[in-house]
Amino acid sequence: MKFPQLAGTLILGFAAISLFANCNADGKSGSGASADTSKKKTDSTVNIMKPVDRKLYDSLDKKLANGDTTGRWPVKNQPTPLAGAILPFKRIVVYYGNLHSKKMGALGEYAPKEMWQRLNTEVKKWEKADPTTPVQPGLHYIAAVASGTAGKDGKYINRMGNKQIDSVLKISKMQPNTIVFLDLQVALSTIKAELPHIEKYLQLPYVHLGIDPEFSMKDGSLPGKKIGTYDAADINYVTGYLADMVKKYNLPPKVFVLHRFTKKMVTNSQNIKLRPEVQVVMHMDGWGEPELKKGTYRHFIQSEPVQFTGFKLFYKNDLKKAPNRLMTPEELLKLTPKPIYVQYQ
């Protein structure tokens, strides 16, 4: 089956990284952070550290499977998550983007007050469509952006400074109990090299992680020229890293989102290791008309189960072809399995 969205995705990706060719992020990443990690247990955005009811967990997970007859869903032999787990007890609904660009997503396109009004409208739609599943609002921020220029280190990556990330955390606090995702596009760097740049933020109980294989250029190609990849070994490194942090700082489980819209973006997915400290979401990141998006989800998410699933909706790119509309929550709830993480760009 052909997926014509791939060419468009490459064009979209190249256009996005071109925006950062001459962009200098404010502040410095790494040491000297202004993030306050001293109040991890008392922050209002902390999910209540309530022990997980395994019977309830399994019941909700079976509900997400949505009558699957393949035997793939729900995923078997999952570890019981640590206290404070978000999934599958709540559905996460987020706005995605970067504060430097109005073209990379709704998070950066609108001023904070308007952005929250729009996101809350989507939250209400989900609450109406599935009233039995509470909605957890969130902001998904691209903290490292694949760049059109090499930069000082030659890695074609533009890391957002502390001031930028702190601004997103401040915006998140405009609405109580919001969670934040920091997303990494590593370009010619590696995930091992980039995680330490945001480690101080991941120590916060309400900050979670996303990584984008599209911009992981293991073969040295420039980002935006072709689609990148991660292997299960890379993903297991990340989940191990997050698990160690959760244990060290006594945090609730981290939600870990992986973008995907082709098979080669994630290789050897059957070898991904699940851990009590991390909840893995395989996130359908392709754009296009509803039937194309459902096909991408079926071929690359449903057919290769890991743990939980996500689905992205593009306010602009999904409208380019007939029927020129976004998929609705009601339509997404008919998918097998039902996505428990929904992202709007």
Q: What distances in angstroms separate CA 345 from CA 45, 92, 140, 241, 313, one per listed residue?
A: 23, 14, 10, 28, 6
Helix (H, G, I), strand (E, B) or coil at 210: strand
Region 159-170: mean pLDDT is 96
By the 8 A CB rule, do 258 and 280 touch? Answer: yes
Give the pair of three-digit tokens for residue 300: 């690359």
pLDDT at residue 48 in the model: 65
pLDDT at residue 50 in the model: 86
198-213 confidence digits (pLDDT tens): 999 999 999 999 999 9
Per-residue H/E/C for 176-188: CCCEEEEEECCEC
Return the number of other C-beta atoms located less than 10 Å from residue 131's C-beta: 8
Helix (H, G, I), strand (E, B) or coil at 155: coil
Give the pair of three-digit tokens for residue 11: 């064009």
Please tell me the distance from the alpha carbon of residue 256 to that of residue 182, in angstroms, as a whole number: 10
Decide the pairing of beta strands 157-159 and 135-146: antiparallel
Q: How would residue 153 be classed by pLDDT, with cut points 50, 70 and 90?
A: very high
* Euclidean distance between the first and the last CA atom of the chain, given in angstroms as a whole number: 26
Please tell me the distance from the alpha carbon of residue 307 to that of residue 87, in angstroms, as a whole number: 10
Q: How would residue 49 be classed by pLDDT, with cut points 50, 70 and 90?
A: confident
84-113 confidence digits (pLDDT tens): 999 999 999 999 999 999 999 999 999 999
pTM of the complete model = 0.89
Show the beta-strand stretches assigned E in the chain.
91-97, 135-146, 157-159, 179-184, 207-211, 230-231, 254-260, 266-267, 278-284, 308-313, 341-344
Given a cut of 80, is residue 145 above it in pLDDT? yes
pLDDT at residue 24 in the model: 46
By the 8 A CB rule, do 194 and 144 touch? Answer: yes
In sequence order, what are the residues at sequence separation of 6 or more whose Cβ sits closer than 8 angstroms to the Cβ of residue 106? 95, 96, 97, 115, 118, 119, 315, 344, 345
- For the chain, domains (ranges, CATH) are 5-25+45-344 (3.20.20)
